């Protein structure tokens, strides 16, 4: 039941992002040849924003799931608190990887 709700939420977020992307495309339309270089810059920024945005949403979902499971486990056995912390750190690392990818997109 929980996975169904989570997948519905992810589908809604991705659908909203796709609709936003499609709605924003006409804003970047230009008619000159000099705009070709500008178009690549626009797509760079858009790709970097998607990398950070999607990775942060995924990291937030992961931390939420891990946090709730860790709190449930700690309520039964308080000694498990140290074992749950590395998993939350790994989930937060997803956001850092997205930021790193965005930086690499911006530089190259």
Q: Each residue of 35-51: pLDDT tens digit?
A: 666 778 888 999 999 99
- pLDDT band for 1, please (50, 70, 90 cuts): very low
Domain membership flag for residue 53: yes
Distance, CA of 21 to CA of 82 (rounded, Å):
42
Q: What's the CATH code of the domain at 93? A: 1.20.20.10
* Total number of domains constituting the chain: 1
* pLDDT tens-digit map of 58-98: 999 999 999 999 999 999 998 888 888 899 999 999 999 99
Question: In angstroms, what CA-CA distances link 21 with 38, 46, 87, 103?
Answer: 18, 9, 33, 21
């Amino acid at each position: 039941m929980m996975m169904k709700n989570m997948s519905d939420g992810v589908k809604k977020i991705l659908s909203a992002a796709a609709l936003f992307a499609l709605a924003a495309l006409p804003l970047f339309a230009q008619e000159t040849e000099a705009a070709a270089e500008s178009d690549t810059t626009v797509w760079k920024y858009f790709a970097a924003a998607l990398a950070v945005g999607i990775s942060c949403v995924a990291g937030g979902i992961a931390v939420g799931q891990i946090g709730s499971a860790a709190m449930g486990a700690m309520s039964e056995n308080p000694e498990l608190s140290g074992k749950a912390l590395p998993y939350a750190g790994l989930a937060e690392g997803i956001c850092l990887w997205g930021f790193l990818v965005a930086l690499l997109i911006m530089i190259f």
